[in-house]
Amino acid sequence: MNTSESFRAEDDVPRTSQPRRLLNELSGTLVSQSPVGLAVMDTDLRYVAVNPALERINGLSTEEHVGRHVSEVLPHVDTAAIESAQWRVLETGVPLLDQNVVGRTWADADHDHAWSVSLYRLQDPVGRARGVAASIADVTERYRLATEAARARRRLTLIADASALIGTVLDVDQTARELAGVTVPELADIAAVDVLDTVLACHRTARPGSGPELFRALALAAAYPTEATRAADQVGDLAAYAADRLVTECVRTGKPVLVPHVNDRDLSRIARDPEAATLLARAGIHSYLAVPLSARGIVLGALDLKRARNPLPFNHDDAILAGELANRAAVSIDNARWYQSVRNAAVTLQRSLLPEHPSHLVGLEIASRYQPAQATSEVGGDWFDIIPLSGDKTALVVGDVMGSGIDAAATMGRLRTATCTLAELDFDPAQVLQHLDRITSGLEHYIATCLYAVYDPHHGECHIANAGHLPPVLVHTGRPPELLDLCPGAPLGVGGVTFHSSTLDLGPGDDLVLYTDGLVETRHHPIDDRLDTLVGLLDGSEGRPVGETCDLLLHTLRDPGDHDDVALLIARICPPQS
């Protein structure tokens, strides 16, 4: 037969039967030689048939599959999700494609694998469901690469977030809380930040040690309620860790301590004592990482991380990430501790420069308060003074050096000394401010505001002058309080300005309220509204003890987050002594 005849002979066979016949001939080969695992389940979702590839994937023969459910064949895989998907496909007929499943089979019981699973319904010619077919391909390497890429993206996100979330304020405790909060739950299930106690005293030196290290617990965070937090030192506690403890090793060497898989001996070196080790074991702690808090060549403490529910062990990449976060926090902690040290020195200096109340003042009852700015702000140059003068007179002074820190406090001390000296010369208030203006002009880069008043009890008069300061409030007995409309003058240090004195008539029970801008100025309210609030609070203060009035004003007008210090002085006129 020639070629044309053979084609004609084949043409006699119906075309539709050719692919069907070929498929029937090759189907056995396709199934047996396919590198993809194939399975057929009946309507009870029991195995009917599997191909050699699936035998290799599951590590079981065909006989060990047939008649059994997936859950019976694969006990180390989340088969509940698989069987739920199989029922859904059987009932709806909608295929399920490329679903990732992770777990272990008998073929490699010591390592996780990932598979891509696709399911579709098998039907007879009239459309009745006869079972479910499954194809299973090992995609472990693809899954590993995708997982690593996702973890890398999370690490980058965590580092980016840390830049905005760690070190938001100059406060050691707040920075420690921010560090712990950033690491949980993205990096660890439990995080603790512990700082060497000597660091908080600001005299830590980079020295090796041989004995226990004393740590102050600053922060503790957990992704969920766990006994592991009971094993940790509670925030604020002081705890000694022996030289053989891992956290001590971390701060001594200045290097991370990584324990991917924790055993009982490791737990005894992680925990402070045997009781804490027992709690960590009950909590299921299986991986541990400690990284040093290092800044400017000094180890300040350690970031302590643990995993329990997170099944992955800590690895080298985690140590690098934790070290990056710890270093960012350590610089902020170091800045905060030195700032706090300098601030404490400035507050101490300023308080030492403020006066004690004279033991006896004729015709006056005095109350005063000084409050520094919040802990994260530098101390300012606010001051007040009460100076007994000849003839039973008393000078009342409130001032504010513009600026902050030790230099502002020192400048305030100079002005206070100069004011006391000038007051002794019995100058008129305007003359005192004139001399103070010349003195302040000689102090580099500083100007100040000031109210200077002299009360004469024998004449019931108060002479007062203002150098750019907020107006005092006069509370007259039987009348509403009023802001005094004084000639404001210019701040001290401007130079070449004339000051003017005003005279007030004061009677028994009247209050003169002097204050600095920290009492009323805020970033969010107009100053006029705040002054109105101050006047309103003083309405009805007649007869109330002046100390209580001071406390009321501070409690109502001051916010814990205020960034300015405040000086407050209230002088009440007393009836003349008989």
Q: What is the pLDDT of residues 229-239, one digit of tens each?
A: 999 999 999 99
The pLDDT assigned to 4 comes to: 39
Q: What is the mean pLDDT of residues 303-332?
A: 94
Give the full edge-to-edge strand order of the sheet including 238-241. Answer: 238-241, 213-222, 190-196, 298-307, 287-295, 257-259
In this model, does residue 170 exceed pLDDT 60? Answer: yes
Report the alpha-carbon distance of residue 301 to residue 294 in Å, rounded. 7
Whether 214 shows a pLDDT value over 80: the answer reads: yes
The answer to whether residue 207 scores a pLDDT higher than 60 is no
- 186: helix, coil or strand? coil
- pLDDT for 16 equals 46
Provide mean pLDDT across the span 394-403. 92
Q: Which helix (H) or strand (E) holds 376?
A: none
Averaged confidence pLDDT in the chain:
87
Alpha-carbon gap, residue 324 to 307, rounded angstroms: 19
Q: Say how far apart CA 109 and CA 366 lie, in whole Å.
A: 83
Cα–Cα distance, 150 to 154 (Å, whole number)? 6
Q: Is 92 exposed, middle or buried (0-12, 13-18, 19+ CB in 10 A)?
A: exposed
What is the model's pLDDT at position 444? 66
Residue 566: name the closest of 395, 359, 354 by CA: 354
Residues 6+ apart with CB under 8 A from 278: none
Give the range with max mean pLDDT: 99-103, 441-445, 446-450, 479-483.
Answer: 479-483
Res 25: pLDDT: 57
Q: For residue 319, is pLDDT > 90?
A: yes
Alpha carbon distance 26, 264 (integer Å): 58
Residue 174 in this model has a pLDDT that exceeds 70:
yes
SS3 216: strand
CB-based contact 231:283 (threshold 8 Å): yes
Query: Per-residue pLDDT tens for 241-268?
Result: 999 999 999 999 999 999 999 999 999 9
Sheet holding 511-515, edge to edge: 364-371, 566-573, 511-515, 473-475, 482-483
Q: Among the listed ranges 121-135, 249-263, 393-407, which one has the minimum average pLDDT value?
A: 393-407
The whole-number pLDDT of residue 3 equals: 37
What digits encode the pLDDT tens for the residues 333-385?
998 888 777 767 766 766 666 667 777 889 999 999 988 776 545 556 888 99
- pLDDT tens by residue, 70-112: 999 998 888 888 999 999 999 999 999 999 899 889 989 888 8
Positive/negative CA dihedral, 57, 60, 63, 65 = negative
At 535-550, the pLDDT tens digits run: 999 998 778 999 999 9
pLDDT for position 268: 95
How far apart (Å, rounded) are the C-alpha atoms in residues 96 and 116? 11
Distance between CA atoms of residues 384 and 400, nearest Å: 9
Q: Which of 49, 120, 45 is nearest to 83 (CA)?
A: 45
Look up residue 196 and give its two tokens.
Answer: 């060497």
The separation between the first and the last C-alpha atoms of the chain, rounded to the nearest angstrom, is 151
For the chain, list the domains and their CATH numbers: 24-138 (3.30.450.20), 149-343 (3.30.450.40), 355-573 (3.60.40.10)
For 186, phi then psi, to 5°, come to -60, -40
Radius of gyration of the chain (CA): 40
Higher-pLDDT residue of 472 and 156 is 472
Is the whole-model pTM more than 0.85? Answer: no
Mean pLDDT of 375-401: 84
For residue 159, is pLDDT > 60? Answer: yes
**What proportion of the chain, given as a percentage, has pLDDT over 90?**
62
Residues 5-23 have a mean pLDDT of 45
Q: What is the pLDDT of residue 5?
A: 38
Cβ(133)–Cβ(43) below 8 Å: no
How would residue 2 be classed by pLDDT, with cut points 50, 70 and 90?
very low
456-506 pLDDT, tens digit per residue, is 999 999 999 999 999 999 999 889 999 999 998 999 988 888 999 999 999
What's residue 20's pLDDT?
53
pLDDT in tens, 102-127: 988 998 988 889 999 999 999 988 88
Q: For position 111, what pLDDT does the model report?
A: 87
Q: Per the structure block, which two tokens stand in for 250? A: 């971390």
Query: Are 237 and 220 contacting, i.e. CB atoms less than 8 angstroms apart?
Result: no
Q: How many CB atoms are located within 10 Å of the residue 536 CB? A: 12
Distance CA 91, CA 87 (A): 6
The candidate with the shortest Cα–Cα distance to 338, out of 202, 433, 542, is: 202
